[in-house]
Structure 1
């Protein structure tokens, strides 16, 4: 038996073929930034939704935002999650990148 598997190498790291071929989610062009605590034991998380990018681009943007905020984070189902309440820093960074940004929720 062989333990080999097909893996693509990119500038942002190694990805599986099924991740590379996922379609981009169509949005209305507005990036929404929310602060959520539900289901997280009271810990606050900033979520960024509405970015029309594939998984590779989202992971690269997530890495940039994590460095900007000095916290951890992840990409889950096309939504970037950054630990803590960093809405203002994230909004400023995304606006510099040319996105239309709205702060949503409380």
Structure 2
């Protein structure tokens, strides 16, 4: 007996309605100037910083989430920068270029 059958037993008068499917577009605002991807060490640990996005903060946060999920690493979004734990400049730059962004490598 699955969950729908159990709910049907609890609420026999309820009629199931088909809800319209909402399609979310995964479109990010693309910009003309390149995003800067740089490498730093903080407290002896390597980090990759992405900055220079001029679109909405919500789009930049979504991009940070996708990058962290793709690399399976930790990171954060603050002060209009994406901070990723580890040196993943090459992978991040390739990911951004596949999305349609221009990138610029800065430092070392």
Output the TM-score relative to the length of structure 2: 0.68
Distance in 2, matches of 1:51 and 1:44, equals: 22
Indicate which of 92, 96, 100 corresponds to 2:102.
100
Q: How big is each residue's C-alpha offset from its partner over 1:42-61, in whole Å with a ceiling of 9 and x where there is no partner? A: 11110001111222111100
RMSD after superposition: 1.6
Count of paired positions: 79
Pair member with larger Rg: 2
Runs (5+) with no aligned partner, structure 1: 1-10, 12-26
Runs of 4+ in 1 over 3 A off after TM superposition: none
CA contact under 8 A between 2:32 and 2:102: conserved in structure 1?
no
1:34 paired residue number: 38
CA contact under 8 A between 1:68 and 1:89: conserved in structure 2?
no
The structure carrying a bigger helix percent of its residues is 2
Indicate which of 34, 47, 64 corresponds to 1:45.
47
Runs (5+) with no aligned partner, structure 2: 1-23, 25-30
| 1:51 aligned counterpart, secondary structure | coil
1:17 paired residue number: none
2:57 paired residue number: 55
Q: How big is each residue's C-alpha offset from its partner over 1:43-99, in whole Å with a ceiling of 9 and x where there is no partner? A: 111000111122211110000000111101111111111110000110011001111
